[in-house]
C-alpha cells in the first residue's frame, strides 16, 4: 500500500485546481432540486465542460489515484457532482468499458463522456432488492431481439434517462445466479412506462419502471447470455468503490460548518455535543484514509475496486447519518424547518444504509469475503 502522491499526480492536482478556478465562476445557476429536466441539462453541461478540458473520462479512463484527486479537488472547489450522470459515469460506463465489446464501447462510451446521454439503473424489483438474483423480469429471444416484460423499482433518474442498464432473466430454469443477462435498453422503446416515486424528502428522484413486451436488440447485451450476474458484480464493485469520495470531502466541510454554527448559537457550551463533533471528525478522517487505502489496493489490482468498498460503504453510511443527526442537535427546534441547511440532507441520509446494498448485506460481505467466516444459509 502506498498513500503518497507522485510528482505527476501532484501536477495533475495543480492543473485541475487552476482549471476549476477559471471555469467555475462561468457556470449557470444550479436548477432547483425538483427540476429534473433542468438538472439533466445542467449535469450534462458540466460533463461536457469536463470532456472539453480533457477530464471527461476520469472516472474510468484514468488511474484510481487520479480519480481520487479529481473527486477531492472538484468537491473542495464546490464544483458540481456527477448528478444525473451518476449511472452513466459510475456504473454503466465502467461496466461497458470493462465488459463490453469494441463495438459496444465505441457506441455507448463517447456519448456518456461528451455529456450527451443519461443512463439509469434497472436492477431492483419489488421482490428482488437485497436478493437481487431473485429478479423476475423476463426476456425471451425473438429473432434478433429480446422481448422483455416485468417491472423495476427505485430506478433513479428514470424520468430523464436515455438508456437503462437492465438486468433480465434469460433462463428461468437455471440456478438463479446463472440465468441473468445485462442489457442496455433505450428508454424511448415502446412498452416502457415510468411512474415517479416521491421520497420522504419530497423529491421524485426515482421511479417504478414497467416493461410490457419491450423489444431490446440482442446486440445490446453486454457479456454472454446468462452471464449477467458476473457483469453485475463488476458494476456493483464500482458503485461501492470510489463513488462516495466527493461526499466524504463534503461531510468534512459540513463538520466545520456545524462547529461554527454551534459556536454562534451557544450549543458549543455543551460538552456532549463537542465530543460528538470530535468523534465524527476522527471518523471522517479515518474514512478518508480508508478511501486512500481502497484506491491504493485498486491501483495494485489493475484498477477494479475490491471488497474494501463494502467496508467503506458500511461505515460511511452510518457516519453520514450520525453527522446529520448531530446537525439536528446543533439546529435545535430549527431541525424541523425544511428550508434550513442540513435538514433535507438528514432525511436523505436515511437512504444511505439501504441504497447500493443495505448495511446488513455489507456486513455479510465483510464477514464472508474479508473475514472468511462460514457462509450463511
Ligand atoms: C436512494 C436510493 C436509490 C436507489 N437507486 C436505485 C437504482 O437506481 N436502481 C436500482 O435498481 N435500485 C436502486 N435502489 C434500490 C436499492 O438497491 C434497494 O433498495 C436495496 O438493494 C435494498 O433492497 P429492498 O429495498 O428490496 O429491501 P429488502 O431487500 O427487502 O430488505 C429489507 C430489509 O431486510 C434486510 N435483509 C434482506 N435480506 C437480508 C439478508 N440476507 N440478511 C440480512 N438482512 C437482510 C435488509 O438489510 C433490509 O433491512 C435505490 C435505493 C435507494 C434507497
State the cell numbers at 236.
456493483
* Stated pTM of the model: 0.93
Distance CA 111, CA 89 (A): 11
Given the CA of residue 199, which atom of ligand 1 is nearest to it? 1
* Angle (CA) 105 108 113, round 5°: 100
Residue ranges of E strands in the chain: 119-122, 138-142, 145-156, 163-169, 180-186, 192-197, 206-217, 221-222
> Whose CA is closest to 218, among 165, 287, 144, 164?
144
Which residues have C-beta atoms less than 6 Å from ligand 1?
A: 121-124, 129-130, 154-156, 206, 351, 354-355, 357-358, 360-361, 364
Pocket test for ligand 1, best of 129, 132, 163, 202 (most atoms within 8 A of CB): 129
Q: How many helices (H) and strands (E) does the chain have?
A: 12, 8
Question: Which residue, by CA, sits nearest to atom 30 of ligand 1?
Answer: 129
Per-residue pLDDT, 161: 98
Distance CA 141, CA 169 (A): 11
Residues whose CB is less than 8 angstroms from the CB of residue 22 and which lie 6 or more positions away in sequence, other chains included: none
Is residue 294 within 8 Å of 60, Cβ to Cβ? no
Is residue 365 within 8 Å of 240, Cβ to Cβ? no
- Give the burial string for 117-130 (b: 16+ CB within 10 Å, else e): bbbbbbbbbeebbe
Per-residue pLDDT, 296: 81
CA 220 to centroid of ligand 1, rounded, Å: 26
State the cell numbers at 273.
455535543
State the cell numbers at 238.
464500482
Question: Which residue, by CA, sits nearest to atom 48 of ligand 1?
Answer: 358
CA 352 to centroid of ligand 1, rounded, Å: 10
Question: Which residue, by CA, sits nearest to atom 29 of ligand 1?
Answer: 130
Residues whose CB is less than 8 angstroms from the CB of residue 365 and which lie 6 or more positions away in sequence, other chains included: 307, 310, 357
Given the CA of residue 352, which atom of ligand 1 is nearest to it? 53
Backbone angles phi, psi at 208, to 5 degrees: -90, 145
Q: What are the angstrom distances between the C-alpha of 60 and each of 63, 83, 161, 376? A: 8, 17, 21, 34
Residues whose CB is less than 8 angstroms from the CB of residue 50 and which lie 6 or more positions away in sequence, other chains included: 56, 58, 115
Among candidate residues 239, 257, 297, 299, the one labeled active-site is: 239
Given the CA of residue 152, which atom of ligand 1 is nearest to it? 11
Is residue 353 within 8 Å of 315, Cβ to Cβ? no
In a structure prediction context, what are the per-residue pLDDT tens digits for the chain, which is 377 residues long? 666 899 999 999 999 999 999 999 999 999 988 899 999 999 999 999 999 999 998 887 788 889 889 999 999 999 998 999 999 998 899 899 989 999 999 999 999 999 999 999 999 999 999 999 999 999 999 999 999 999 999 999 999 999 999 999 999 999 999 999 999 999 999 999 999 999 887 888 899 999 999 999 999 999 999 999 999 887 676 655 667 888 999 999 999 999 999 999 999 999 999 999 999 999 999 999 998 888 888 777 766 666 788 899 999 999 999 999 999 999 999 999 999 999 999 999 999 999 988 999 999 989 998 899 998 76
CA 354 to centroid of ligand 1, rounded, Å: 5
Total Cβ atoms within 10 A of residue 365: 18
CA 355 to centroid of ligand 1, rounded, Å: 6
CA 126 to centroid of ligand 1, rounded, Å: 10
- Give start and end residues of each alpha helix (H) in 59-175: 64-76, 86-87, 93-99, 102-113
> Whose CA is closest to 152, among 210, 101, 193?
210
Distance CA 362, CA 67 (A): 24
Given the CA of residue 357, which atom of ligand 1 is nearest to it? 21
- Rg value, the chain, Cα: 21
Residues whose CB is less than 8 angstroms from the CB of residue 370 and which lie 6 or more positions away in sequence, other chains included: 307, 308, 310, 311
Distance CA 2, CA 277 (A): 29
- First CA to last CA distance, the chain: 35
Question: Which residue, by CA, sits nearest to atom 35 of ligand 1?
Answer: 360
- Residue 103 among the catalytic residues: no
Given the CA of residue 127, which atom of ligand 1 is nearest to it? 26
Question: Which residue, by CA, sits nearest to atom 2 of ligand 1?
Answer: 355
Is residue 180 within 8 Å of 167, Cβ to Cβ? yes
Domains and CATH numbers, the chain: 7-113 (1.10.540.10), 119-225 (2.40.110.10), 244-370 (1.20.140.10)
State the cell numbers at 296.
491504493
Dump the DSSP string for 250-301. Answer: HHHHHHHHHHHHHHHHTGGG-HHHHHHHHHHHHHHHHHHHHHHHHHHHHHHT
Amino acid at each position: 500500500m502506498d498513500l503518497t502522491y507522485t510528482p505527476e499526480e501532484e501536477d495533475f492536482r495543480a492543473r485541475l485546481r487552476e482549471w476549476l478556478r477559471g471555469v467555475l465562476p462561468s457556470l449557470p445557476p444550479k436548477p432547483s432540486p425538483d427540476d429534473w429536466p433542468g438538472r439533466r441539462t445542467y449535469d450534462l453541461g458540466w460533463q461536457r465542460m469536463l470532456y472539453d478540458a480533457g477530464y471527461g473520462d476520469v472516472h474510468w479512463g484514468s488511474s484510481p489515484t487520479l480519480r481520487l484527486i479529481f473527486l477531492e479537488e472538484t468537491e473542495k472547489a464546490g464544483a458540481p457532482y456527477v448528478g444525473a450522470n451518476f449511472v452513466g459515469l459510475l456504473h454503466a460506463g465502467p461496466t461497458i468499458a470493462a465488459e463490453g465489446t469494441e463495438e459496444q464501447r465505441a457506441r455507448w462510451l463517447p456519448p456518456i463522456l461528451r455529456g450527451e446521454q443519461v443512463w439509469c439503473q434497472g436492477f431492483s424489483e419489488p421482490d428482488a432488492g437485497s436478493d437481487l438474483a431473485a429478479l423476475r423480469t423476463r426476456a425471451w429471444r425473438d429473432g434478433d431481439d429480446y422481448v422483455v416484460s416485468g417491472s423495476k423499482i427505485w430506478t433513479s433518474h428514470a424520468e430523464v434517462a436515455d438508456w437503462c442498464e437492465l438486468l433480465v432473466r434469460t433462463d428461468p430454469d437455471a440456478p438463479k445466479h446463472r440465468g441473468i443477462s445485462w442489457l442496455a435498453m433505450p428508454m424511448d422503446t415502446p412498452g416502457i412506462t415510468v411512474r415517479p416515486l416521491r421520497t420522504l424528502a419530497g423529491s421524485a428522484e426515482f421511479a417504478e419502471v414497467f416493461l410490457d413486451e419491450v423489444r431490446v436488440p440482442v446486440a445490446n447485451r453486454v457479456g454472454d447470455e446468462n452471464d449477467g450476474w458476473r457483469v453485475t458484480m463488476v458494476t456493483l464493485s464500482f458503485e461501492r468503490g470510489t463513488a462516495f469520495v466527493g461526499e466524504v470531502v463534503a461531510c468534512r466541510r459540513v463538520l466545520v460548518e456545524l462547529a461554527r454554527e454551534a459556536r454562534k448559537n451557544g450549543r458549543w457550551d455543551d460538552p456532549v455535543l463537542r465530543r460528538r463533533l470530535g468523534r465524527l471528525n476522527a471518523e471522517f478522517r479515518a474514512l478518508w484514509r480508508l478511501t486512500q487505502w481502497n484506491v491504493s489496493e485498486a491501483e495494485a489490482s489493475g484498477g477494479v475496486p475490491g471488497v474494501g468498498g463494502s467496508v467503506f460503504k458500511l461505515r460511511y453510511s452510518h457516519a453520514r447519518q450520525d453527522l446529520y443527526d448531530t446537525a439536528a442537535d446543533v439546529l435545535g427546534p430549527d431541525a424541523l424547518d425544511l428550508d434550513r441547511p442540513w435538514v433535507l440532507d438528514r432525511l436523505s441520509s436515511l437512504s444511505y444504509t439501504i441504497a447500493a446494498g443495505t448495511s446488513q448485506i455489507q456486513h455479510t460481505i465483510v464477514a464472508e469475503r474479508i473475514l472468511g467466516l462460514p457462509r450463511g444459509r
